[in-house]
């Protein structure tokens, strides 16, 4: 049985953050119950439409993402997971994660999550500074975060990720250190740290275009990134991926499915899948997604067959994101090739530039290569 990662998208949030271009709809505090009920019903039907696929695989990881999955009633999440468990085989030690936002978690919801077998939480904090949180349109303040974090911990969950951001307009080094110090004290098992990138069409993108806000320059952003790496390292978090840090044994197994270019199936609005070297994604417009499923049709858009050389390229650039790097003999076996000799020119060039290094069987980015990772990926792409 092929082992896969499963992703389920819940495209609802209380309100939209000012930087967000994810597929999510603001439902407000009153909650648009009818829209949620119709969506959950469609999702359950989509699971049925994938009956054959789901019967032939084993689910090693399930990630319920969004949006904010915890902003809808806990019974819906419970129902979705129960339906999946009836439709497919879960590995005995499957990692089951739910993405959450502070202020959206209640004791009743936690009961549902735990009964459904959720064993990992990912909580979006971003920063401990309340002014910054409000300036980027987050619905919560820092106190709300700690209340939610403690409630999750007290429920017995032993694997929590916290998302933070750096490079926010007006963010200082002191602010970043305060965020890191506070987090280290709370001791989550995993921390993701992403630089804010402004996406076209978002309110913050427009504000920057009009000169109303100013993004930090590249140098300050890089300095912050290095400060995060250093501080987390001396406090027991090892960097296993460019933007991800964990205590040993608490790496995100679901994200490792993506980074190791293994198969995954995405269910829900705009979800992406890659199964048997075929890539496909779901409808991105809610009305079309619902209509197609209600008509008994899978909601996927165009399928792309990935050639062996494209698959190899993806495995290389995704694998280079990992601190463990690429295992060359494994790569040779997976693709029936001699990777080093077939890519000799680009490997020699990047090695001479100090961007990659080969130690024994492992090819990985150097520290300089991590900073200039896009340059490395482009070099492999153009090779």
How many residues of this chain interact with ligand SF4, rule: CB under 6 A? 10
DSSP 3-state of 90 = strand
Which pair of structure tokens corresponds to residue 223?
A: 């300095």
Contact 199, 214 (CB under 8 A): no
Identify residues 213-272 at the interface with ligand SF4 (CB under 6 A): none
Stretch of 9-17, 44-52, 174-182, 362-370 lying at the interface with ligand SF4 (CB under 6 A): 9-17
- The nearer residue to ligand SF4, 88 or 101, going by C-beta atoms, is 101
- The secondary structure of residue 322, as a DSSP letter, is B
Among 8, 10, 20, 290, binds ligand SF4 (CB under 6 A): 20
Q: Looking at beta carbons only, is 20 or 98 nearer to ligand SF4? A: 20
Q: Which is nearer to ligand SF4, 63 or 240 (CB)?
A: 63
Closest to ligand SF4 by CB, 254 vs 292, is: 254
The site string for ligand SF4 over 60-99 (x = CB under 6 A, - otherwise) reads: ------xxx-------------------------------
Instruction: Give me the least distance between CB of 195 and ligand SF4, in Å please.
Output: 14
Q: How many Å apart are CA 318 and CA 380, to the nearest integer? A: 12
Left (φ > 0), alpha (ψ -120 to 50) or beta: where does 155 sit? alpha
Cβ 256 to ligand SF4, closest distance in Å?
Answer: 22
| Chosen residue from 8, 10, 17, 42 binding ligand SF4 by CB under 6 A | 17
Q: Quick check: 22 binds ligand SF4 (CB under 6 A)?
A: yes
Does 13 help bind ligand SF4 (rule: CB under 6 A)? yes
Asked if 72 and 14 count as a contact pair (C-beta separation under 8 A), the reply is no
Nearest distance in Å: CB 103, ligand SF4: 11
Shortest distance, position 180 Cβ to ligand SF4, whole Å = 21
Residue 282's beta-bridge partner residues?
A: 300
Of the pair 62, 165, the CB lying nearest ligand SF4 is at: 165
CB closer to ligand SF4, 35 vs 328: 35
Q: Using CA atoms of 77, 82, 85, 87 in order, give the dihedral in degrees to the nearest 10.
A: -100
Give how far the C-alpha of residue 73 lies from the chain's centroid of Cα atoms, to the nearest Å. 22
Closest CB 110 distance from ligand SF4, rounded Å: 19
Going through 21-88 in order, the beta strands assigned E by DSSP cover 25-26, 57-66
CB of 24 or CB of 261, closer to ligand SF4: 24
> Is the CB of residue 126 less than 8 Å from the CB of residue 163?
yes
Tell which positions 96-155 bind ligand SF4, by CB under 6 A: 101
Beta carbon nearer to ligand SF4, 35 or 337: 35
> Per rule CB under 6 A, is residue 10 in the interface with ligand SF4?
no
Distance between CA atoms of 100 and 157, rounded to whole angstroms?
A: 14
233 backbone dihedrals φ, ψ, rounded to 5°: -60, -45
Three-state DSSP state, 239: strand
Q: What angle do CA 132, 137, 143 make, to 5 degrees?
A: 60
For residue 213, give both structure tokens: 């806000």
Q: 70 vs 88, which CB is nearer to ligand SF4?
A: 70
Q: Smallest distance from the beta carbon of 6 to ligand SF4, in angstroms? A: 19
Q: Does 24 bind ligand SF4 (CB under 6 A)?
A: yes
Confirm or reject binding of residue 8 to ligand SF4 (CB under 6 A): no
Structure tokens at 351: 């090695």
Q: Which two tokens stand for residue 215?
A: 């993004």
Q: Min. distance of Cβ 234 from ligand SF4 in angstroms?
A: 30
Helix (H, G, I), strand (E, B) or coil at 194: strand
- Helix, strand, coil share (%) of the chain residues, nearest 5: 45, 25, 30
Q: Please identify, among the stretches 17-25, 148-156, 251-259, 359-367, the one whose residues bind ligand SF4 according to the rule CB under 6 A.
A: 17-25
Instruction: Give the nearest distance from C-beta 26 to ligand SF4 in angstroms.
Output: 7
Query: How far apart (Å, rounded) are the C-alpha atoms in residues 265 and 144?
Result: 33
Contacts with ligand SF4 by CB under 6 A lie at: 13, 16-17, 20, 22, 24, 66-68, 101
């Amino acid at each position: 049985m092929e082992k896969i990662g499963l992703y389920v998208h819940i495209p609802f949030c209380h309100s939209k953050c000012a930087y967000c271009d994810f597929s999510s709809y603001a439902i407000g505090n009153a909650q648009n119950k009818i829209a949620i009920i119709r969506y959950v019903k469609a999702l359950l039907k989509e699971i049925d439409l994938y009956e054959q696929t789901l019967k032939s695989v084993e689910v090693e990881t399930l990630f319920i993402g969004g949006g904010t999955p915890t902003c809808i009633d806990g019974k819906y999440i419970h129902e979705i997971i129960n339906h999946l468990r009836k439709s497919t085989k879960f590995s005995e030690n499957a990692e089951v994660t739910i993405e959450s936002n502070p202020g959206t978690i209640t004791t009743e919801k936690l009961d549902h999550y735990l009964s459904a077998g959720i064993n990992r939480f990912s909580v979006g904090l971003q920063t401990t500074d309340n002014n910054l949180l409000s300036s980027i349109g987050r619905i919560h303040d820092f106190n709300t975060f700690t209340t939610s974090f403690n409630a999750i911990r007290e429920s017995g969950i032993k694997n929590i990720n916290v998302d933070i951001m750096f490079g926010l307009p007006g963010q200082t080094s002191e602010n970043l250190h305060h965020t890191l110090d506070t987090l280290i004290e709370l001791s989550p098992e995993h921390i993701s740290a992403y630089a804010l990138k402004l996406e076209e069409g978002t309110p913050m993108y427009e504000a920057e275009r009009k000169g109303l806000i100013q993004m930090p320059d590249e140098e300050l952003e890089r300095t912050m990134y290095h400060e995060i790496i250093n501080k987390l390292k001396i406090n027991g978090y090892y960097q296993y991926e460019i933007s991800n840090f964990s205590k040993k044994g608490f790496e995100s197994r679901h994200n490792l499915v993506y980074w190791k270019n293994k198969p995954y199936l995405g269910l829900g609005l705009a979800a992406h899948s890659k199964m048997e070297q075929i890539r496909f994604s779901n409808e991105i417009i809610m009305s079309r997604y619902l209509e197609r499923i209600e008509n008994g049709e899978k909601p996927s858009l165009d399928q792309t067959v990935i050639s062996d050389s494209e698959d190899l390229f993806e495995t290389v650039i995704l694998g280079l994101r990992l601190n463990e790097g690429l295992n060359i003999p494994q790569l040779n076996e997976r693709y029936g090739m001699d990777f080093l000799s077939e890519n000799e020119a680009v490997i020699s060039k990047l090695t001479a530039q100090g961007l990659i290094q080969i130690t024994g069987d492992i090819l990985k980015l150097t520290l300089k290569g991590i900073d200039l990772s896009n340059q490395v990926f482009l070099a492999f792409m153009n090779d």
